[in-house]
Structure 1
Amino acid sequence: MQMFDPSTPGDLIPVLNLDESEVQRQMTICNACRYCEGFCAVFPAMTRRLEFAQADIHYLANLCHNCGACLSACQYAAPHEFAVNVPKAMAKVRLQTYAEYAWPKPFGTLYQRNGLTLALATGAGLALFLCLALLVMGNLFTAMPGGNFYGIFPHNTLAMMFGAVFGFAVLALGIGVRRFWREVTPGDVSGSIKTSAALEATANVAQLKYLDGGHGQGCNNEDDRFTLWRRRFHHLTFYGFMLCFAATGVATLYHFLLNWHAPYPILSLPVMLGIAGGIGLLIGPAGLLCLNLRRNPEQGDAHQKPMDRGFIALLLALSISGLALLAFRETTALGLLLALHLGFVMAFFLTMPYSKFAHGIFRSAALLKFSIEKRQRNPINAGSD
C-alpha cells in the first residue's frame, strides 16, 4: 500500500513499505557488486540508477523473470549476513504492484486470496449453473446432429455473454497496466526509439528471452542445476493460449464474414488450431505445475503458490474440457461437457485481470521500458560528458 511522508506534504514523497525497502536494500548491495550484471535485464537496468525510488522498484520487480540464476550465483545470499535473495524480494513486490494498479481498485485484494480455491470454485460454480440450466431445458444429455453445440446454446447468446466478460477483462487489464506505465515510464521519447524498442520488446516477449538465465542454460528450479524446461513449458502454455485464441478468431470470421457456421469438420482451420492450442495448454501447464511443486521455496515467494497453482489448474481445466468436448461432441455427453467447458472459460475471463495472467502483461510493459531505456543516455555517465 502506498503511503506518503507527512514531513514533506508539498512533495508527497512515497514512503516505501517493508518489502519495497528490502528490494531497495538488496539492489544497493547488488549495484556495488555487479557480479550478476549479465544474467538478465534487471541488472543492466539497475546499473542505470544510484538510488531506487518506488517507481524504480516496481519496474525492476516486474522486469524480474524469477529464473533464480542470481540467487544461485550470489556470494551474499544466506547464510551471509546480507541475506540477499533477489527472486524472493522481487516476487513479493511484484504481487503488490498487481494489487496496487488493479481496476476496479477494491478487486486488487483478489490477488492475495487463495487462488486455487477461487479459480476452481468459480469455474465449478459457473459450470454447475449451466448444467442446471440445461437440465431444466432438457438438453443436458441430448445429442445434436454433427455435434452442433449452438443447438444447445444459441450463438448470439454465447457471443454476447462471453464478449461482455472478455471486454471487461481487457478493460481492467488495460487500465491497470496504463497506471503502471504512467508511473514507471520515461518522459518524452522519440518515435524512432519507441518503434525500435517496441520491436525488440515484442521479440523478447515472444522468445521468453530472460527465462534462459541470461546465459542460455536455463533457470534454477529445485537446486542449483540449470534447466530449460521452465522456459519450454512457458512456451507451450503461451503459444497454446494464442492458438486457442486464433481458433476463436478464425471461427468468428467464418461465422460473420463467410457465413460458415459451426460445427466445423476436424480438418478445418479453427478445429486444427484449437486442437494444437489445447495440446499446448495441456502439456505446458502440467509441466509448470510439476516444476512448481518441486521448486526450491527460496526461489520466489512461497505465499504466492496458491495463486500460481490456481491459474495453472484453470488452464488445465480449460484444455481438458475443451479437448473432451471435441472428442465427444457427437454423443449425449455434449451438453454436460459444453457446460463444464463454458464454465471454466467464463471463470478464466472473470479472474483474468486478478490472476497470474496479469504478470505477462506487466512484464511486457517492463520489457518495453527496458528497451526504451537502453536507447537513452545513461544518466549516471551523463555527468562525465
Structure 2
Amino acid sequence: MSLDLTSLTATEEARRQIEICNACRYCEGFCAVFPAMTRQKAFADGDLTQLANLCHNCRGCYYACQYTEPHEFALNIPAVLAEVRVESWERLARPQALARLFQTQGVAVAGLLAIALAWFFWALTALRPESGAGFYAHLAHNTLVAIFVPAFLLPLALIALSLRDYWREVGGGRVRLAHILQALHSVARMKNLSGGHGEGCNFENGDRFSDRRRVFHQLMMYGFLLCFASTASGTVMHYALGWQAPYPLFSLPKILGIPGGVMMVIGGGGLAWLKLRADPALGAARVWGGEMAFILLLTLVAFTGLALYAATGTPLVAPLVAIHLANVMVLFLLMPLSKMVHGFYRLTALVAEAGKPTPKPED
C-alpha cells in the first residue's frame, strides 16, 4: 500500500526519508550527506537544513536506491533535500519576499531587471566624461565606483546576516582554521560530485557515471575566481600604483580575466546543457527557472565582458558597456536571492561539518 504523503511539508517528508536512509545506509560512501546523517537517529529541523545544504544533487543515491518508486517508501532524496535547501535559502534570505519571487520567476525577474539597467547605463554613456580612454571614455571611473561599491557590499552584508542565522539554526560550533581548510579542500576538488567512487555522478543519466558536471562546475568556479582576481588586480593597479585602465593584453588584469571569462562561458554553457538533459523531478522543480536564470546570468556576464574587450575601438563599445554593466549589476543585486548564494551556504555547511565529530561505525 502506498503512503499518503500529500499532507507532509518538505521538512517532514525529508525527515521521513532520511530516517529510512539512516536505517539502510547502502549509500554511506556516496557524499558528505550520508556519513553526517549517521550521527543521530532523530533529526531536528536544523539537522535537515544542514544535510540539505551538504547535498550537491549528484543524484547517485537515487539511482542506487532500492526504495524509490514504485516501492511504497517512494524515496527521492535528491528532490526532497533540494526542496529543503531552497526553503532554507528563502527562509533565511533578506528580504524573504524577493527571494521567493526570484526562485519561482527567476528568468523574468533577471531579464526585466537587466533590460531596465541596460537602459540606465546606456543613458549614462550619453554623458561622456571629459577625459578617459577605452572603457572609461564612456563612463567615468568615479561614477562606476559610486554605483557598484554599494551594489556589491550591501548584498554581501545581507548574505553574512543570513549565514549567521544558518549557523545558529544548524548548531554550528567553534570554527578553527583546520575546519575552514578542510572545507576549502573539499570545494576545490568538488569532492562531493565524485559519487563516492571517483567515477563521477549520474546527474543527467542514471545509467552512466560522468565527471562532466564536476568539470563544468570547476570551470565556472575557477573562471569566476580568475575574473574576480582580475578586477581586484586592476583596483590595486589603479589606486596603489596609479596605473589606469585600459590595460594592455599582457597585463595582470587581462592575463587573469580573459581565461577566466572563457572558462565561465564554457562552464556555464555546459551546466545549462546538463540541466536541460537532467530529470527535473530529481530536483526542486518549482525553482527550475530561477536556477537556470542564475546559470545563464553568470554565463552572460562573462560573454559580454569578453565581447566588450573584443569590440575595443569600435562603435559597439558603448552599447556593450551598458549591456555588460547591467548584467554585472543584476548578478550583484540578486546575489542574496539567487542560486549564487548556494556557494556561500555550501561552504558554510562544509565548515560546520568539519567541526563535528566523526561518526563511529556501529557494532
- Tell me the TM-score normalized by structure 1: 0.88
Distance 1:293 1:23 in 2: 25
- Secondary structure of residue in 1 paired with 2:280: coil
Q: Does 1:133 align with 2:124?
A: yes
Could you tell me the percent identity over the aligned residues? 43
1:6-56 CA-partner distances (Å, limit 9, x unpaired) = xxxxxxxxxx96100000000110011000011111010000011011000
Where does 1:26-45 land on structure 2 (aligned, <5 Å)? 26-45=17-36
Structure 1 residue 298, shift from structure 2 partner: 3.0
Q: Does 1:323 align with 2:306?
A: yes
Where does 1:241-256 land on structure 2 (aligned, <5 Å)? 241-256=224-239
Q: Does 1:164 align with 2:150?
A: yes
- Secondary structure of residue in 1 paired with 2:336: helix
More displaced, 225-234 or 105-114? 105-114
State whether residues 26 and 86 of structure 1, in contact with CA within 8 Å, keep that contact through their aligned partners in structure 2. yes
1:245-299 CA-partner distances (Å, limit 9, x unpaired) = 0000000000000000000001111012110111011000000000000102232
State whether residues 321 and 337 of structure 1, in contact with CA within 8 Å, keep that contact through their aligned partners in structure 2. yes
Letter paired with 1:115: G
Q: Does 1:151 align with 2:137?
A: yes
Q: Does 1:361 align with 2:344?
A: yes
1:140-170 CA-partner distances (Å, limit 9, x unpaired) = xxxx98x522122111111121011000111
| Structure-1 residue corresponding to 2:179 | 197
| Structure-2 residue corresponding to 1:347 | 330
State whether residues 173 and 358 of structure 1, in contact with CA within 8 Å, keep that contact through their aligned partners in structure 2. yes
Letter paired with 2:352: K
Structure 1 residue 196, shift from structure 2 partner: 1.7
Distance 1:73 1:22 in 2: 20
| Structure-1 residue corresponding to 2:205 | 223
Structure 1 residue 371, shift from structure 2 partner: 0.9
Distance 2:156 2:280 in 1: 32
Q: 1:63 aligns with which of 43, 51, 54?
A: 54
Distance 1:368 1:62 in 2: 11
Q: 1:263 aligns with which of 246, 260, 282?
A: 246
Where does 1:80-119 land on structure 2 (aligned, <5 Å)? 80-119=71-110
| Structure-2 residue corresponding to 1:311 | 294
Structure 1 residue 222, shift from structure 2 partner: 3.0
Structure 1 residue 138, shift from structure 2 partner: 6.7
Letter paired with 1:200: Q
Distance 1:271 1:183 in 2: 42
| Structure-2 residue corresponding to 1:5 | none
State whether residues 221 and 299 of structure 1, in contact with CA within 8 Å, keep that contact through their aligned partners in structure 2. no
State whether residues 124 and 139 of structure 2, in contact with CA within 8 Å, keep that contact through their aligned partners in structure 1. no
State whether residues 103 and 289 of structure 2, in contact with CA within 8 Å, keep that contact through their aligned partners in structure 1. no
Q: Does 1:334 align with 2:317?
A: yes
Distance 1:107 1:101 in 2: 12
Letter paired with 1:201: A
Distance 1:231 1:364 in 2: 16
Q: 1:138 to 1:120 in 2, by over 3 A?
A: same
State whether residues 103 and 291 of structure 2, in contact with CA within 8 Å, keep that contact through their aligned partners in structure 1. no
Q: Does 1:288 align with 2:279?
A: no
| Structure-2 residue corresponding to 1:6 | none
State whether residues 224 and 264 of structure 2, in contact with CA within 8 Å, keep that contact through their aligned partners in structure 1. yes
- Secondary structure of residue in 1 paired with 2:124: helix
Q: 2:355 aligns with which of 372, 379, 384?
A: 372
Structure 1: runs of 5+ lacking an equivalent = 1-15
| Structure-2 residue corresponding to 1:11 | none
Distance 1:138 1:249 in 2: 25
Distance 1:340 1:162 in 2: 15
Distance 2:112 2:345 in 1: 26
Structure 1 residue 107, shift from structure 2 partner: 3.3
Q: Does 1:176 align with 2:168?
A: no
State whether residues 53 and 85 of structure 2, in contact with CA within 8 Å, keep that contact through their aligned partners in structure 1. yes
Q: 1:169 to 1:160 in 2, by over 3 A?
A: same
1:185-236 CA-partner distances (Å, limit 9, x unpaired) = 344x4x7xx2222211111111111011111111112322111000000000
